[in-house]
Amino acid sequence: MNIRKNNILVIILIIIFPFSAISQVGMKPMLIVIDNVSRTATVEIINPMKDIREFNIELLFAYPKYDSLGKSILIYDDSVMAKEYSLSSYLKIYPKKLIIPPGESQVVRLIVKDLPRDDGKTYWTRIIASSKPMTQQIDTLKKLSDTSAITASIVIGTRMNGLVVLNNGNVTSSIDFDEYKRYSDSSSIYLVCKFDKAGTSPFLGKADVKLYDSNNNIIIKREEKVSIYENCNLEFKFDKKNLSKGKLKVEITVSNEKEEVPVELRLPFKPITKTFEIVN
């Protein structure tokens, strides 16, 4: 008798797209500020793919760290900061696991529990939604073919990384900034600004960046995220392609006017506008 065995190897790949439009996970909003009165909020998890998918929601404390040139990474292993500011242990998620059909979404509820009120601190956590296709049972897979060869089933998963914040009582947030360094390489010009943080809360806002030519015409206009948890440097990068030679003016306006955050939940802050010079 010729016995033929079927070996199935399942490989799971997790691809992280923190803020990418090409991700196989959608999250709306990406920044969730919880009202300290109700202590509840919701987030919408979206399946933009053409297949039914499994979603898992988890919480991880993290914050961005910047080097001297303003390039950032997320720090996940700072136990001292986590003990002081992590919202993870106080935040309950309902539901944590979801199955969402293609092109549809589901609302996840967030509830803060057991956190003493009004201690004058800001707490936060990352909310991570991971996605993968609905997996078939091994018994079902075995029936699909009769071969002694190893069949590799590649399951591609992705993760979307958002932020949840609670301002617990009377907190303040403010920053100031100025030029730290200018430099360039073969393709780009870099303006590095030094940001000084004040107040008791992280600054979560945006920078409206405009680049003017020598005739004072706007040649670049864009919006960039500004997240300041401690004194740091931030990088503003300009592609040399299509830029005229000579001196150019950079105008940066920093504000906390983020669409995801309702006006009534924004901390008081007057926008700051400053101009700088770069040379192409």
Per-residue DSSP letters for 152-216? EEEEEEEEEEEEEEEEESS--EEEEEEEEEEEE-SSEEEEEEEEEEEESS-EEEEEEEEEE-TTS
CB 6 within 8 A of CB 147: yes
Do 33 and 160 lie in a common domain?
A: yes
The pLDDT, as a whole number, for residue 23 is 59
Q: The CATH number of the domain where 126 resides is what?
A: 2.60.40.10
Same domain, 178 and 164: no
Residues 164 and 177 in one domain: no
Write the CA distances from 272 to 2, 195, 249, integer angstroms: 78, 12, 16
Asked, for residue 88, whether it belongs to a domain, the answer is yes
Q: What is the pLDDT of residue 135?
A: 67
Residue 210 forms part of a structural domain: yes
Chosen domain end from 168, 202, 234: 168
Q: In this structure, which amino acid lies at residue 134? A: M
Residues 122 and 25 in one domain: yes
Say if residue 141 is in the same domain as residue 202.
no
Q: Same domain, yes or no, for 146 and 77?
A: yes
Q: How far apart are CA 211 and CA 62, in angstroms?
A: 32
Do residues 91 and 225 share a domain? no
Has residue 42 been placed in a domain?
yes
Tell me, yes or no, whether 3 lies in a domain: no
Per-residue model confidence (pLDDT) at position 277? 97
200 and 274 in one domain? yes
pLDDT value, residue 108: 98
Phi, psi for 102 (deg, rounded to 5): -60, 135
Specify if 2 maps to a domain.
Answer: no
**Domain identity same for 151 and 192:** no
Determine the pLDDT at residue 75.
Answer: 96
The domain of 196 spans 173-279
User: Do 57 and 102 reside in the same domain of the chain?
Assistant: yes
Number of domains in the chain: 2
Same domain, 147 and 187: no
pLDDT score for 157: 57
What is residue 3's predicted lDDT score, i.e. its pLDDT?
43
Domain boundary (128, 153, 168) is at: 168
Picking from 148, 217, 160, the residue whose alpha carbon sits closest to that of residue 19 is 160
Query: Which of 116, 139, 168 is the endpoint of a domain?
Result: 168
pLDDT score recorded for residue 24: 76
Q: What does each of the 280 residues of the chain score in pLDDT, given as a tens digit?
A: 444 444 444 444 444 444 344 457 899 999 999 999 999 999 999 999 999 999 999 999 999 999 999 999 999 999 999 999 999 999 999 999 999 999 999 999 999 999 999 999 999 999 999 998 886 544 444 455 554 444 444 445 588 899 999 999 999 999 999 999 999 999 999 999 999 999 999 999 999 999 999 999 999 999 999 999 999 999 999 999 989 899 999 999 999 998 888 899 999 999 999 999 999 9
CA separation for the pair 248, 246 (Å, rounded): 7
pLDDT of 180? 96
Phi-psi region of 273 (alpha: psi -120 to 50; beta: other; left: phi over 0): beta
